């Protein structure tokens, strides 16, 4: 098994993150710093799709030597495509936290399987 473990280079990490699902925002990633987000709850589904806003989370994952650290935030993804730090209602926050926890488990599993990395990620 250890013979198949490869070095976690930038391109290998991006490929691994893409395989996890539609979370990684590759256009915002640089070598050693990776950005993820999730639109968990639609705020206004009566609006045109391009004008809708969402409750969700975003996270920056930073590689520091052999370790990773993360910073996660909750907020509103506005109609301009920007994240705004803002607290959703209780039921929406529960869903945002649930989707974040699902993501964390997926990313931990993927990094362990591909690169034999054990990482600690911060919950919301």
The residues pairing with 85 across neighbouring beta strands, listed in sequence order, are: 75
Q: What average pLDDT does range 58-80 have in this prediction?
A: 92
What's the CA gap between 38 and 74, in Å, rounded?
A: 10
Residue 1 binned pLDDT confidence (cut-offs 50, 70, 90): very low
Dihedrals phi, psi of 39, to nearest 5 degrees: -90, 100
Q: State the pLDDT at residue 2.
A: 52
**Global pTM?**
0.89
Q: Is the pLDDT of residue 73 over 60?
A: yes
């Amino acid at each position: 098994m250890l013979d198949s473990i490869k070095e976690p280079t930038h391109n290998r990490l991006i490929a691994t993150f893409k395989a996890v699902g539609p979370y990684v925002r590759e256009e915002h990633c640089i070598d050693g710093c990776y950005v993820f987000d999730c639109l968990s709850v639609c705020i206004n589904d009566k609006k045109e799709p391009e004008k809708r806003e969402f409750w969700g989370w975003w996270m920056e994952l930073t590689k520091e030597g052999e370790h990773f650290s993360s910073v996660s935030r909750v907020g509103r993804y506005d109609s301009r495509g920007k994240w705004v730090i803002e607290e959703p209602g209780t039921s929406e926050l529960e869903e945002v936290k649930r989707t974040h926890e699902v993501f964390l488990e997926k990313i931990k599993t993927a990094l362990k399987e591909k690169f034999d990395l054990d990482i600690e990620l911060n919950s919301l």
